[in-house]
Structures are given as C-alpha cells and as structure tokens.
Amino acid sequence: MSIVAIIPARGGSKGLPGKNKKKFGSIPLIAHTINAAKRSEFVDEIFVSSDDPEILAIASEFGAEGIMRPADLSSDAASSESALLHCLKALDTRNKNIEYVVFLQCTSPFTTSEQIDQVLSACKNHNIQSAFSAVEDHGFLWSINESGIACGINHDANQPRIRRQDLPAQYRESGAIYVMNAEVFRRDKHRFCGNTVVVPIDGPSIEIDTHDDWANAENLYRSSKASKPISGITALKAVIMDFDGVHTDNRVIINQDGTEAVICDRGDGFGIEMLRKQNMRLLILSKEQNIVVAKRAEKLKIEVIHGVDDKVSILESWLKENKLTWSEIAYIGNDLNDIGCIEKSGMGFCPSDSHPKVKEMSDVILSRDGGKGAIREMSDILINL
C-alpha cells in the first residue's frame, strides 16, 4: 500500500496570473510544496496535476511527476476534488495500490514535511478516514442577521464580555494539507470523507491568492529565512567545505602552459584559522581532481578529499572513520552536487551566489559570494553563536 501526494496547480489564476510558476524566494512557488513532500517520512510518490506544460516541467525538475489535466477540469469553477480524482484515475492504469491521498496546496509555501507527517499520522487511526491541517482561532466571530444587526456566533453579545482565552476551542482550515483514505475518497468524492479530524499545526498559514498575499508572504519568507533558528549548533565538531564556488568565485585562470589558477580570499583563510582554534575538524570535499585544490588545502593545513562524484557516500565513510555523525557537522556548498550533504548535515550554509536549489535547502544563506568572504562570514557565525 502506498501513499501519494497530489498537488493541483492550474496554469491560470485570476487573482494572481501565473502564480504557481512564479519565483517565490529563489525557486518557483510550487517547488516549495514539492520539496516539503519529498522530505516527508511517509509519502512515496508526488504528482502534480496541471493544464500548463511549464508547470509540469517545473514539477519534473524538482522531483515530482506531472499529470496533464484536461481543460474541462481546469476552469475556475472546477473543484480540487475533480483534479484529484482525475489523477487517481490516471494512476489506476499502473495498478498502484494507493492507501492514502495527501492533497497539498501549492499556494501555501510554508508547509513543512513535519506538518504533512503530522496530518498523515492522525489519519492513520483505524477510525479516521480524513484529516486536515488547521490553525487555532481565538477570535470573536460575528454574523449579520436579516435585519442587518450584528449577532455573535461563538459568544453571546448580550452577556458580559468573556476573556478571549475562555472562548470555545475553534479551528480555521490552513488550506495547506488534506489527507484522505483513498478508497473512501473515491466513494464520497469529497476531501472531508468518512470520519474527519482536525490537526492543529504551528507556523504561518498564509494562502497566496492575490498580489497583497504574495507581498506579505515574501516579506515573511525573507525574515524567517534570515532569522532561522540554528538549533544544536553547539554540538558541531567539524566543518566540511566544497572548493569551487566556495573557496573560489567559481572561475579558473588558464595559464599559457595549460596550468590552472584560482583566486581566493585571504579573509576566508583567517576564518578557517579561527575555526581551527575552536578545535573544529576541517575538510575540503571537492569534485575537482586538481592540484590547485590540493595546494590550497596544504596552504590552509586542511585535510582534502578531491575527485569525488558521490559526496554523500564519501563523507559518510569519512564520518565513520572519525567517529562523527551528520548532526555534528556544518557543510558549505554552492551547487547541485552539494545538496545531499547539506540536507543531511547538522547545519547547511551556502554563499549568496549559489544555485537556487542549494539556497532553498540551506539553513543559512550567506550575504557574501563564494571566494569573496563567504567562509569568513560562516566562521564568524559559528564562533559567535
């Protein structure tokens, strides 16, 4: 039995045209939701349902499979359920035995894998067929009666005002995560199928539908990225560094005799010396098999492993040899072959000119470019924490 995540994403949008493929932060809006689903402990496969080939191409780039949605299911009047059912029908031809459907909205870029797994876990109870994410609401709700007079909904306006915290518990859909038992959902054709439970979640619950929503979400995203808490940093015992694009500006100088040269930053060298004084183990892990890498490492008195294709497996072996764990290392890299190490490390850093996907996966995006003080900036952060 498998668990599939389905992300409906139409190409059109009246409130904010093209929003699903527009860059939010450094990657398209929909990519944030795909990344969250990829990190889920339980989700087996991720599908994006869209009528837009560009969105389907983005889905493929970020690790999801695209399902082309017909035009009659792509209008403003078409329900999300219709897209989900169409996707499930397409998967029927593959003889997939689907147990749960995780319906994710790509207009909620702050969704996390932990939240997805939280809602999934609630739905796995044998008496529950569907669950959804929600935020606790402590507001006083009002309606207007036929005479135009205000009426209290969750409080009696004719009684003395009660404290907000004494209001009955109430919850508002976050609009981000819905989980359904696949069999019951097919039968009822509704996301709230069978017995449904509310799963309160923490964190931002912004849904992006308008230009104002986008602006507010971007401001929140920038501030949360800049102030992301660095947990467990005191347990770090080693710093692992890529070379090209981190120690250098990713350029190479070819001399007349064919030898290569690179430009490094002296400030980075001083930062490394400060890390050494903090008893940090230091390692350069580079894809390039080049004497330049070895000579720079020798100059800095750093251990080096270069000519590496699979950085994760090599670093895994290095950690075992040195009796270290992934949670005890900080890793700084700038390109796609660094992502695996960044994801697994206790703290991931990247220079400001790194690949967009690397930025998305990193815990800290430095303000300086590679080869221009990024390592010094990282060392200052680690030492001053």
Domain CATH code at residue 300: 3.40.50.1000
Give the pLDDT score at 234.
Answer: 53
Final residue of a structural domain among 175, 206, 226: 226
Give the pLDDT score at 30.
Answer: 92
Mark whether 328 and 293 lie in a shared domain: yes
- Report the share of the chain in percent with pLDDT over 90: 51
Mark whether 107 and 214 lie in a shared domain: yes
Measure the CA–CA gap between 186 and 202, rounded to whole angstroms.
30
Mark whether 62 and 210 lie in a shared domain: yes
Tokens 């808490």 map to which residue? Answer: 229
Q: Give this prediction's pTM.
A: 0.65
Judge contact between 179 and 192, C-beta under 8 A.
no
Mean of all residue pLDDT scores within the chain: 88
Give the pLDDT score at 224.
Answer: 63
Mark whether 305 and 370 lie in a shared domain: yes
Domain containing 320 equals 233-384
* Structural element, H or E, at residue 178: strand 171-181
Give the pLDDT score at 225.
Answer: 56
Mark whether 266 and 353 lie in a shared domain: yes
Mark whether 204 and 139 lie in a shared domain: yes
Q: What are the tens digits of pLDDT across the range 140-164?
A: 889 999 999 999 888 888 888 888 7
Assign 246 a pLDDT band (cuts: 50, 70, 90).
Answer: very high
Residue 45, both tokens: 């496969």
Which residue pairs, CB below 8 angstroms and at least 24 apart, start in 284-290? 284/240, 284/241, 284/242, 284/243, 284/247, 285/240, 285/241, 285/242, 285/243, 285/311, 285/314, 285/315, 285/318, 285/341, 286/242, 286/243, 286/244, 287/242, 287/244, 287/311, 287/337, 288/243, 288/244, 290/260
> Domain containing 101 — which CATH number?
3.90.550.10
Mark whether 126 and 239 lie in a shared domain: no
Final residue of a structural domain among 226, 249, 281: 226
Give the pLDDT score at 71.
Answer: 83
Judge contact between 237 and 328, C-beta under 8 A.
yes
* Position 13 pLDDT exceeds 80: no
Mark whether 164 and 129 lie in a shared domain: yes
* Position 323 pLDDT exceeds 50: yes
Domain count, the chain: 2
| φ, ψ at 350 (rounded to 5°) | -150, 145
Mark whether 183 and 279 lie in a shared domain: no
Final residue of a structural domain among 178, 193, 226: 226
Give the pLDDT score at 385.
Answer: 57
